[in-house]
Structure 1
Amino acid sequence: MVNVITCNPNKGLLTYIIKFLASSTLKTDDGNADPVFDFEDALDQTEMAQLAVNELKKNPEVNILFQERWLPEPYNLDQLSQLPEGTLGHVYAHKIRSTGFNPHFYKKVPVVDDISYLKMLWRSTHDIYHIVAEFDTDEIGEIGLQAFFIGQNPIPISAMIISFGLVMISLYQPNNFQYLMSEVIRGYNLGSQTSGKLIAQKWDQYWDVQLSEIRAKLGMEIEARG
């Protein structure tokens, strides 16, 4: 893919911004999330992307993942759904099925360097983060989760999605703006206060572990919502 920012920064960014704002969700009207991934790909050669990698690698656990190029092993939703209730695998499988999501919907890219590895790590584990941090999978839940990651990691796409999300919800769902802001604040605070980095975990080792135990290990305290 030609990097649109490198070729023409103003036109490239504007094109993607229009694609985001022209939709009432973070996906296009046909449910295709490729524009989101294309936008992320377009950030590859920016200073933000390299700074994100450099900052993440300061964490010893994350740096090991970069060295190993670890990505989660393939999994079977039928098998995960048979795990005991309350385990990550059981909750994940039932959530994915209840929403009708394809857990492998994300765009694949070859891992050729640290930036492409980070993208595949982020994309292949992203849905698990929704479960562990307890954010909905709708557009507001997605923006809240991105705020969580801003509190934990300097990943450029998170800042972009939050920025566009604020505008998008203001335009298309103004009655939900207060809820959006509460989720952004909740996400950032939870991310800042959670000592364990979600992106540092080898998640396929936790399928049979209780969610409560995982959160305790990470130092994550989720308050009950009314």
Structure 2
Amino acid sequence: MRTPFSYVREAWKVARALRDPYRLQDILDVARLLAPPSTMRKLVDRLMQSPTTAQAFVERPRVGKLALDTLQSLPEGTLGRAFADHLKDNGLDPSKLPNLQAHTHEDYVRAHLLESHDIWHVLTGFRSDVAGELGIQAFSLAQVGSPFALGILAGGLTNTLLYAFAERDVRMQAITRGWVLGHMALPVFGAPWRDMWEHPLEEVRQRFGLDLDAVDAVLPALAPPVRTHAARRVAA
């Protein structure tokens, strides 16, 4: 049963996340508010409408534990090497992420999106700042229709208004780029990333229709401030 104290505590976490977008645990907690069970069921129903994403609920691929030393020993230009470099460059420790169980379809969506978040950053080229994070959430919203992604975008724009108005242009540019990339690309939800570590990154991007050069050519002003291989981790 919810108590008045629990509502106050959740409101405080939302306020802290709005002020500091890098508070991972607060953002993970806010995710539970933005995507309650009823909303997650609707999201699953929507994903089931696509044969590609529906198959993911049958096979349920997971990223699982990462052998970073092994990934970093892969040739430069591979997905696994780029992903490992990105984690190292940003000081990210995947072992510190919650190990979410996936007993239901709704659980699987949460777990897979959380595990895949930084892989999506590598695929799309968004860097490790607030603008890049908003860009990846716009990509997620276009791809999956996640209410959490929309909530993060709303929070990011609120943060921009209250605390970082000077960043409005670069953040809006990143959101636009992510939205366009998400709509142009094939579905990336449910992809078996572990099977693709040794594949060239550009080949993986082509597989999913992620033509970064084409998008950046259409939106030339966006490429310099938002594109890089690095990314900061926030739940999807």
**Structure 2 CA distance, aligned partners of 1:86 and 1:108?**
28
Distance 1:141 1:100, change over 3 A: same
TM-score (norm 2): 0.83
| 2:38 is equivalent to residue 42 of structure 1 | no
Query: Which residue, 130, 138, 146 being the options, matches 1:155?
Result: 146
Q: Which amino acid aligns with 1:26?
A: Y
Residue 14 of structure 2: aligned partner: 17
Q: Which amino acid aligns with 1:213?
A: E
Deviation digits for residues 33-89 of structure 1, max 9, x if unmatched? Answer: 111111222345354322211111212222222123321242211111111111111
User: Which residues of 2 match residues 58-97 of structure 1 at below 5 A?
Assistant: 58-97=49-88
| 2:22 is equivalent to residue 26 of structure 1 | yes
Residue 124 of structure 1: aligned partner: 115
Deviates most, 79-88 or 52-61: 52-61
Residue 232 of structure 2: aligned partner: none
Counterpart contact for 1:144–1:184, Cα < 8 Å:
yes
**Structure 1 CA distance, aligned partners of 2:62 and 2:195?**
12
Percent of counterpart pairs with the same letter?
25
1:15, distance to aligned residue in structure 2 (A):
4.0
1:212, distance to aligned residue in structure 2 (A):
0.9
Q: Which amino acid aligns with 2:190?
A: A
TM-score (norm 1): 0.86
**Structure 2 CA distance, aligned partners of 1:95 and 1:180?**
21
Which ranges in structure 1 are unaligned for 5 or more consecutive residues?
28-32
Structure 1 residue ranges, 4+ long, deviating more than 4 angstroms after superposition = 6-13
Q: Which amino acid aligns with 1:18?
A: A
Distance 1:8 1:68, change over 3 A: farther
Residue 210 of structure 2: aligned partner: 220
RMSD: 2.3
Distance 1:7 1:148, change over 3 A: farther
**Structure 2 CA distance, aligned partners of 1:198 and 1:8?**
39
Distance 1:59 1:214, change over 3 A: same
Residue 202 of structure 1: aligned partner: 192
Counterpart contact for 1:40–1:157, Cα < 8 Å:
yes
**Structure 2 CA distance, aligned partners of 1:11 and 1:116?**
26
Which ranges in structure 2 are unaligned for 5 or more consecutive residues?
217-222, 225-236
Find the residue that maps to 1:209 and give its secondary structure: coil
Counterpart contact for 1:151–1:191, Cα < 8 Å:
yes
**Structure 1 CA distance, aligned partners of 2:150 and 2:4?**
22
